[in-house]
Each structure stands twice: as C-alpha cells, then as structure tokens.
Chains A and B, each alone.
Chain A
Amino acid sequence: MKFHLTEEQNYIQKATWDFAKGAFDAEQILELMEKRCFPEKIFKNACKLDLIGMTYPESAGGQECGMMEHVLVIEALCRKDSSLGIALAGADMGTELIARYGNQKAIKKYVAPLLKGNMVASLICPEIGEEQSPVQYRECDDGIVLNGGASLVLNAGIAGYFIIVADDADVPDQSAGGERIVAVVPRDIPGLEVGESINKLGLDMLSWHGVKLENVKLPGDHLLSSEGEIPDLFMRLQQNNLLKISAMFLGIAQGAFDLALGYAKQREQFRRKIARFQGISQKIASMYVKLQEGRAGVYNAALLYDEDAIDLHDLIAVKLSIEAVAEMITDEALQIHGGVGYMVEFPIEHFFRDVKCLRTFTGRKICHLDLISRKLIGKLK
C-alpha cells in the first residue's frame, strides 16, 4: 500500500535506502556486532549525506526538515539492518534540543561535531511514567550542581556530551512547583563518572553504562531554555524520542518482513516453496496487515507532530502499537526461517533480539499504559 508522500519525501526515502544498500555490508555488520563497536565510519558517511540531524534548524547546521522526513530516513536505515540502523539513528538522541534552544557556544561545541560524525550524544532522563528524574539539581552562585545517576545509559561510553533532565532536589515533586530542567553536560566535566560497558541482549553496536554524577558544577549557560516558545522542553524531548523509536520499530518490522518473504519464496520443503503452504502464506499476509496498520499510525503521528497537533499520550499509543507490530513480525519472521533463523549469520537473529532490547528504552509498557489511561479517564469523583 502506498502512502501519500511528497516528491521530496520520496526522494529522501530513496536516497537513504540507496545509501543503506551500498554502505551496509552483511559481513561488516556481523564483525561490528561481535566486537561490540559503534559504526564510526558509516556514521560519518551518513552525516556527510545529511541523514543525521535533518530536523535541526539551518542555523545549527541542520536541514530544517519535518519529522515526517526524519521518520522516513530512520525507517529506511533500520529496514536494512536493525543494529546498524538504530546505532546511526540513535546517535543524536536529545541533541535536537541543543540545536533548537542551545546558545551559539553549545551549538558549536556539540552540534557541529555531531553533524560531522565526530561526536555522539547520550541521554539521561526519566522513563515514561517515572515521577522523578534519576538526576537532581541545586542552584548555586553561577549555575547548578548535579547529583544522581542512572544505571543503564545508552552510548555513555563513547558520548562527547550528555543531555540530562534533572529535577529540583529541594522540591522534587513537580506538582508542588518543582522545576524540571534540561542541561547539556560535557563528558569531561569533573564529578561525572562513566562505568564499564554492560553486556546485554541486543543492539550489539551500542553499549550501556552506568553514569554517576557527584557534585557536578555546571555553569548556567549550559541549561537549555526555549524562552517560552514551547512550554515544556522535556515534553518536546519525549515526543521527539517516541517518534524516533517508533520509526526504528517500523523499519525493523519492514526489514524483518522483507527477510521472511524472501526466505519463504526461496526455501523448499516437501517439494515446494514453503510460501506455498497456507500456514506460511497466511502468516505473511498477517504480518503485512500489521505492518501497514503500524506504518499508517507512525506516519500520521509524524505529520501531526510537524503541525504541533499531537499529545504525548497519543504518541505513546503509536509507539506501543508499532512496538507490538515489530515484535510480532520479527518473531514470525524468525519462525519462518526455522533453524537458520536461530543462527547468528542470518540477520533475522539480531533483528529479533534488537526489538526486545529497544522496547525497554522508554520504560515498561505498563507505565506507558498508565499514562494513557490517566489522560483518558481523568480525575474521578
């Protein structure tokens, strides 16, 4: 099924797909995964093609594209390979806020090297539904002091800077007037400690680390502020992340579908292609139904986001929906592969693991559902 895309959007989608087909090499992917390395070179090449940071304002070196275009790019990258796609698309998590609301100094110091592919970002913020951020701040003479930390922080090992969401240490409760701030923290600041890399289920090109902040003194000019342009920076950050992650799930789902369809049309058992067995062909059709349903939701959300017309709970709903689609499709795709699907040299093996890992990024599903239900049910008498 086709979706209404503009000529420019079609072009961007195709250009990204061509890039991914050319630059993603199956053997190299396995090697990067085995060594647990960030794909530095490919990231630099993606930056050269302006595939990273494309929604940033032109003044910060971006393309000022809409979220819809960004979603198309992430989808195409993750479609070609889940691990590599997520590594590239997740390298700038949170940086949009610096590009949009940071001062010139911060843009020069962080956004510019990121867009050249020389730096990677890392983000520390509360999970969906989590009342308090894992980091707290206190004001001091010329800025703030940060304390706290998080145990599983993506990209922390290689990040040049952290985007940190922190709560007022004295008034942690926001409903009691406590303020939540967003700060840019350089990696080499005294008091910030990054732990060892922690091995995990999927996303083998990315690492998780513990991060500790102990009396980290941050000058006031490292705080981000939209100066009233949008009411809540953290909300913007969450919305942005949810859409990026949704686009990743969409790409992985499409990629796993491609792998399953290709395999079913080529694999023969009982003297016929397994795609000719109704049990298998029905699976493929069901996967397609889910995929189209999920894609419609993600594209619609991206378009609404660009018009600033979507609420957080609806974005969460879209993310939960495409996440379930990606889980179902990667699982069935692996099943259609049979024994080879379980083997590391077949890409579906890591597509499957990556989805399981990616879905924990913004926290537990139950907490997502709580947030949606609170919005729907409201306060009861």
Chain B
Amino acid sequence: MDLSQSEQLEKLRMEIRQFAREELAPFEQMVEENNQIPESILEKMRQRGYFGLTIPKAYGGKGMGKMEFCTVEEELAKTHFAFMDIISLNNGLGSRSIVLDGNEAQKQKYLPKLASGEWISAFTLTEPNAGSDAGSITTTALKKGDVYLLNGMKHFITNAPIADVFIVIAVTDPSLGAKGGISAFIVEKDSPGLSIGNVHQSMGMHGSHKSEVIFKDTPVPVENLIGMEGKGLAVALRTVDEGRMGVAATSVGMATRVLDMAIEFAGSSTFNDKTLNRYQAFEWLLADMATELYAARTMLYQTAAKMDRKEDAQLEVAMCKLFGSEMVGRVVEKAMEIFGKEGCLFANVVERILRDARILRIFEGTAEIHRIIIGRKLLKGQRPF
C-alpha cells in the first residue's frame, strides 16, 4: 500500500502543488536574489492557513497529522526552501512545545496568533558553545520575584529578525544544568533587554533569516514558563522530532524537483550531437537518483504513519532525517554531473538546491548526532522493523 496516496492526502497534495506552481514558483528567483519573501505571498499563505497546519482546530489551526504535514512540506520544498522554512517554525518548534506542554492560558493567548500567521515564531536553543551538545547551554533564566531574568546569547536562530515570539530554552538551575536545571519559556519580541545581534550570511537558505538573539536582564513573567521548571530540555527534545521529519520531507521534495529537472535536461541537451538521455551513463545516474529518492520517500511516509498512530518512532525519525538529508546531497551531486557547467549557474534551480540542501545534513541535529542516536537505540535492542 502506498501510504502517501490515500484519496484525502492526494487531494491535499494536488491542492498544495497547484498553489506552489501557480503562486510560489514564479517568485523563486526573486526570493533568492532579494533574500526575502514578498509580503503578498506571505499574505496568501496566511489566508490559506499554512501557518497553523499542525495547530489544533480548537486554537484556529487545521489540526493536521504527520502524514498530511509531511505532504505539505514535501510539495513546498519543491519550490524555494524559504517558502517551506517560513511556515515550519509556527507549525513545528515554534508552537509544538505550547501545544504539547503549555497550559490553557498560554494556548489561548499564543496559538491562534501563530496559527493565523499574524505572529511569526522562533525557537532559540543553539548557542555558540552549545550546538550538538544542547545540554551545555549557558543562557540563564534566574527567578527573581514574579519574573525570570534571562541573560545570554543564542545564535543561528531561524526567523529571529522577524519573529514576534521566541521559545527560549535556558538554565534555571545552574547546579543541575542538563539534569533537570533547564526550562522553556515564551518570550515576546518587545521584552526589555531582548535584542537581535549579528545576522548570519550563509551559503544557502536565502529568504530565511537567521541571527543571534541577545538577552540582557530580560524579564519573563512566571506565567510564560512552559510546563514545569526544570523540564525544559524534555520539552525541547519532545519537539525536535517534528523538525527532523520536516528535514526528511524537505529532502524528498528537493530531490524530486532535482530529478525532474535532470530528466528534462537529459532529454533536451546534447553532447556530441546526441541527447544526454541516449547515453547509458546518464541513464544509470538517473536510475540511481530515483531509486534512493524512492527509498527515502517510502521511509518518510511509513514513519509519518507510525507517528500518527501515536507509536514511538524516534528511531525511524532519526533514520529518515539522516538518510533523507544525505540522499538529497547525492542526488544533487549526480544532477550536477548531468548539468555540467550549467548546473553551476545562479539561473539554474539545481545550483540553489545544492546550496540549500547542504544545511539539511547539519541543522536539526547533525548527521553525526543522528548516527549516535540510531546506534544507541539499536544497541538497546530497538529495531525499526
């Protein structure tokens, strides 16, 4: 059974695909060059409810499950990464901790704004000295009366320069640190002492804004603590699987776009007066690209279905993220072989995807961290099948 193709999912896929083709694709190059998504497109995405796809209906969202959301992510990733990236936070790390661990007041206050896209969210965990080792963060949130005072610096924070609200993971008890001393907070952008530091210039991900976030005695009301004090790392880690599935779905979407482009190019471009698709070597490259893309796509929806059944799928999610992100890298490499010099041009979408796809092996947990996660689970006796 092809899990990705129930009638309802297929309808959703076609709807998103049409929107992506008609409304998003014409602006891809513009987003890349201007490093910004036009407001008119954001408005269309808001109107269609894209910012709240995974947020429960009771709070203004669409209440989508994993199968559906992966379908949306896959289709959006076939256009420009920024279109996928801009909605991924509100649907994922920016809202999930409130959905899963927030209290009713927090849900009422924040989720409708995130679902409508009126507010953009950012998730601040990573620090210059705490990347893979998230437990070693040093940003503190020390309780003083009825507020916590935030101090420290976060970096590589997606959406930070445009975010209205930040989910902040900080140390509330330095003596405990990662072992029960870390908490999660909701922090609004105009909080005193909150500032945006350097904006990062990166190889790809143009149109998606990343920067440092600096807290200097930033007061956060106690009612903005998510869940229990000291449970912040657990709150954060419960939500990372969402982002990881997003990476896997993005990998599949990007690779599909690249494969389609490579097939088209191989049929229209010639070498020594023969179209490329008449050379066996190019044909075999395409075969390899499509085969591992199919494998990654099957893993993705198999795992999404498992998550929708509310079964533990952490092992499978890690595998989807690891394999998907490396798969798209290899697919792009092979496409470059087909495109030759033309694959290097800014005007060629493959060039952009090569740069964008390279982050997929790094963020939301590096490939190395994922090998550790998978290896440890296997050694503890877990199996994905």
Judged by DSSP, the binding face of A is mixed
Q: How big is chain A's contact interface, by range? A: 35 or more
Q: Does the CB pair A199–B346 fall under 8 Å?
A: yes
Residues A164-209 near B (CB distance < 8 A): 198-202
Is B19 part of the binding interface, using a Cβ–Cβ cutoff of 8 Å? no
Q: Does the CB pair B344–A270 fall under 8 Å?
A: no
Complex Cα gap A156–B162 (Å):
41
Residues in A with CB closer than 8 Å to B285 are 366
Q: Does the CB pair B368–A279 fall under 8 Å?
A: yes
Interface string of A345-372 (1 = CB under 8 A from B): 1000100110011001001111101100
User: Distance in Å from the Cβ of B71 to the closest Cβ of chain A?
Assistant: 27
Q: Does the CB pair B202–A364 fall under 8 Å?
A: no
User: Distance in Å from the Cβ of A260 to the closest Cβ of chain B?
Assistant: 13
The segment from A21-29, A82-90, A137-145, A334-342 that touches chain B is A334-342
Complex Cα gap A129–B204 (Å):
33
Is B312 part of the binding interface, using a Cβ–Cβ cutoff of 8 Å? no
Q: Does the CB pair B344–A356 fall under 8 Å?
A: yes
Residues in A with CB closer than 8 Å to B368 are 277, 279-280, 335
Is B163 part of the binding interface, using a Cβ–Cβ cutoff of 8 Å? no
Is A269 part of the binding interface, using a Cβ–Cβ cutoff of 8 Å? yes
Q: Give the one of A280, A339, A345, A360 with max B CB within 10 A.
A: A339
Is A343 part of the binding interface, using a Cβ–Cβ cutoff of 8 Å? yes
Residues in B with CB closer than 8 Å to A335 are 361-362, 366-368
Q: Does the CB pair B341–A269 fall under 8 Å?
A: no
Residues B111-165 near A (CB distance < 8 A): 126, 129-133, 136, 156
B residues contacting the other copy or chain, number (CB 8 A): 43
Chain B residue nearest in CB terms to A283:
B368
Complex Cα gap A378–B271 (Å):
21
Q: Does the CB pair B340–A360 fall under 8 Å?
A: yes
Is B203 part of the binding interface, using a Cβ–Cβ cutoff of 8 Å? yes
Complex Cα gap A183–B238 (Å):
67
Q: Give the one of A356, A365, A366 with max B CB within 10 A.
A: A366
User: Distance in Å from the Cβ of B375 to the closest Cβ of chain A?
Assistant: 10
Q: Given A130-B272, A201-B354, do A364 and B337 touch, yes or no (CB 8 Å)?
A: yes
Is B294 part of the binding interface, using a Cβ–Cβ cutoff of 8 Å? no
Q: Does the CB pair B133–A279 fall under 8 Å?
A: no
User: Distance in Å from the Cβ of B156 to the closest Cβ of chain A?
Assistant: 5
Is B358 part of the binding interface, using a Cβ–Cβ cutoff of 8 Å? yes
Q: Does the CB pair A339–B131 fall under 8 Å?
A: yes
Q: Given A130-B272, A339-B131, do A353 and B362 touch, yes or no (CB 8 Å)?
A: no
Q: List 21 A-B contacts (CB under 8 A).
A: A127-B340, A131-B272, A200-B344, A201-B344, A268-B129, A269-B131, A269-B132, A270-B133, A338-B362, A342-B204, A342-B359, A342-B362, A343-B200, A344-B201, A353-B203, A357-B344, A364-B271, A364-B337, A366-B337, A369-B281, A370-B281
